[in-house]
Amino acid sequence: MKKEKISNALNGIDESYVEKAANYKKKKAFMPIVKWGTLAASLAIVIAGTALIMPFLDTSVPPIITEETTSGTENLSESSTERATYTTTTTYWATTYATGTHETIYYEQYFARITEGTYKNYAPMKALQRYEILLGEKIEDVTIRGFWSTNDKTFFEESDYTGKEEIEYLRAEIYAFENISPDVAVLVKYLDKGEALTTDHYYVFVNNNVKNEIETLSDFYEIFNADHYFYVKTSADILISRPDCDDFYKTSDTLVRNLSEKLLSLEGKFLSDGEVGQMKFSKQLTFDIALDSAGAYKGYIGVFNNGYIIFHIYSTNHFSFAFDIGEENATALMSYVEENAELRRSNNYSNDKDYETTLTQTTFTGMTVETTTCTNDTACETVTSAAHRSE
């Protein structure tokens, strides 16, 4: 009866929303990621503590990020996905997000662009504290144009700028990272405090064409100085997904240190988006990483049993870097986790009485996902196609 009431209540929703939804066109999408996405698994990951990804996945409107230590964080739980209105004199739309130890203030409707010169098209990414970086030489002075909307208009990209928004021009200095070429990424230090920017942080700006610099996994590590900036995080469980089961493993300092070392010792060929789009796999290992030099506020790695590894870097932009490390290496990483990490819990779908009818076999072709119904047995024997339980 309750469901019927909800269903009836939905029928009473205004026609305007019905119409808007039917005609709604997503303006800007992330680069598609080849990844399983069962509803159950997604929610479970969030609960497990990967919640940090949420506001930054929500970057159809890229946020500009700053961090501030506050005393109000203890009221919000570590796994909270809640956004609370943050009372501050500096903004009207700032929202807060708790990570357990500090709050992150980010802005949904603010854009910063370098107005001219070599770094004009670099993508603004994470804001870093001075102690988090190896600071190189100052390169030049620039002007940054910041603009933002103060109304409800959704602001997707710079081209949406209509001239009616608020705008500010800020003086800033560009610095190099030590040991990282300015052709890859630079740091911006503001001299003027902006609406959504501080003068205390160093903002990473990454070359949108950075992929052109990469042919191998070693190149990737080298250009971002991974020896210094890359590590596997303990912030979330490690997930191993198979067609009929999601396993969540606890992290530990030793485990992530060893995993980091293993990853840094790997070699592999860079893969184009097209090659990644056509990948097939039946097992995936996922865990969180840090890579500040790439401006990653949220980073995670997907390792697939077909031998592919994909680094996902999220901040105001999303970059993904894929490499072929070989099936043997990929499988070894999975085995290492399975053998050394403590299993926290499993979501097993094979005992689901509806499993046989709801299981779907999924094939990734290009950037689309084609699903066809198959039987439980067939799917479990399938190694060349990904499969997941339909939501």
Partner 1 sequence: MDDNQIIELFFERNEKAISALSQKHGKLFRKIAGNILKNEADAEECINDAYLAVWNTIPPQKPHSLSSFVSRIVRNISTTRYHHLSAEKRNNFYDTTLDELLDCIPSDETVDDDSAEELSAALNDFLATISEEDAAMFMKRYWYGETVSDIAKEWEMTPHYISVRLSRIREKLRKFLEKRGIII
Q: Does 264 bind partner 1 (CB under 8 A)?
A: no
Q: Does 377 bind partner 1 (CB under 8 A)?
A: no
Closer to partner 1 by CB, 198 or 241: give it.
241
CA–CA distance, 217 with 51 (Å, rounded to integer): 28
Closer to partner 1 by CB, 2 or 212: give it.
2
Q: Does 76 bind partner 1 (CB under 8 A)?
A: no
Q: Does 26 bind partner 1 (CB under 8 A)?
A: yes
CA–CA distance, 199 with 190 (Å, rounded to integer): 5
Encoded tokens for 194? 């902006």
Site residues for partner 1, 139-198, by CB under 8 A, read 152, 154
Question: What minimum distance in Å lies between the beta carbon of 368 and partner 1?
Answer: 6
CA–CA distance, 339 with 368 (Å, rounded to integer): 34
Reduced to 3 states, what is the DSSP secondary structure of residue 90?
coil
Question: What minimum distance in Å lies between the beta carbon of 228 and partner 1?
Answer: 30
Closer to partner 1 by CB, 142 or 276: give it.
276
Question: What minimum distance in Å lies between the beta carbon of 370 and partner 1?
Answer: 10
Site residues for partner 1, 337-376, by CB under 8 A, read 354, 357-358, 367-369, 371
Closest to 91 measured CA to CA, from 69, 70, 114, 109: 109
Encoded tokens for 298? 């949220």
Q: Which one among 57, 134, 167, 191 touches partner 1, defined by CB under 8 A?
A: 57
Residues 6+ apart with CB under 8 A from 113: 120, 124, 144, 145, 158
| Pairing, β 343-348 against β 318-324 | unpaired
Question: What minimum distance in Å lies between the beta carbon of 65 and partner 1?
Answer: 18
Q: What is the DSSP string of 345-382?
A: EEEE-TT-TTHHHHEEEEEEETTEEEEEE--HHHHHH-
Which residues in this chain contact partner 1 in the complex, by CB under 8 A?
2-15, 17-22, 24, 26, 29-30, 32-33, 35-39, 42-43, 46, 53-54, 57-58, 60, 81-83, 152, 154, 354, 357-358, 367-369, 371, 390-391
